[in-house]
């Protein structure tokens, strides 16, 4: 997946308000780097409605990966990026300066205060991101 973390809400799962969204929400640490899982073309980068900064990339014709909730975004529209290229940073301030959060114990101990929304669109339809990503 594009950021190390834990799935908080799955595809089309309703939130506390009963709203189901066609993507997943991943909890992660503050200032986590979101990377492109595959080579892709940047279609959009910047603010979008109330989603914060959004990055939309196209890994193949008519397929889009949408990443929302970023504090900062990198790259330029039209740029072709390689796999693992940084797309942006999540917000917050990281109290940990000696290294990254790497174990599930650290992840589950409250170190994850930021969320990334991930949606995959094939043509005009949203599809389950699990078809493209190893979501565990």
How far apart are the C-alpha atoms of 130 and 119, rounded to whole Å? Answer: 10
> Which pLDDT tens digit goes with each residue over 82-132?
999 999 999 988 655 444 444 444 444 456 689 999 999 999 899 999 988
- Check residue 136 and give its pLDDT: 66
- Check residue 101 and give its pLDDT: 46
Pairing of strands 23-28, 114-122: antiparallel
> Which pLDDT tens digit goes with each residue over 5-39?
999 998 999 888 888 889 999 999 999 999 999 99
Q: Phi, psi at residue 114, to the nearest 5°?
A: -120, 155
């Amino acid at each position: 997946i594009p950021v190390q973390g834990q799935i908080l809400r799955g595809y089309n799962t309703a939130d506390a308000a009963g709203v189901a969204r066609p993507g997943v929400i991943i909890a992660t640490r503050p200032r986590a780097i979101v990377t492109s899982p595959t080579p892709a073309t940047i279609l959009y980068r910047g603010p979008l409605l109330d989603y914060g900064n959004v990055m939309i990339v196209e890994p193949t014709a008519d397929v889009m990966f949408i990443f929302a909730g970023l504090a900062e975004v990198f790259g330029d529209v039209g740029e072709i990026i390689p796999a693992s290229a940084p797309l942006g940073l999540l917000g917050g301030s990281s109290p940990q300066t000696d290294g990254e959060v790497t174990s599930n114990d650290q992840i589950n101990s409250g170190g994850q205060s930021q969320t990334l929304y991930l949606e995959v669109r094939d043509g005009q339809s949203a599809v389950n991101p699990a078809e493209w990503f190893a979501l565990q």
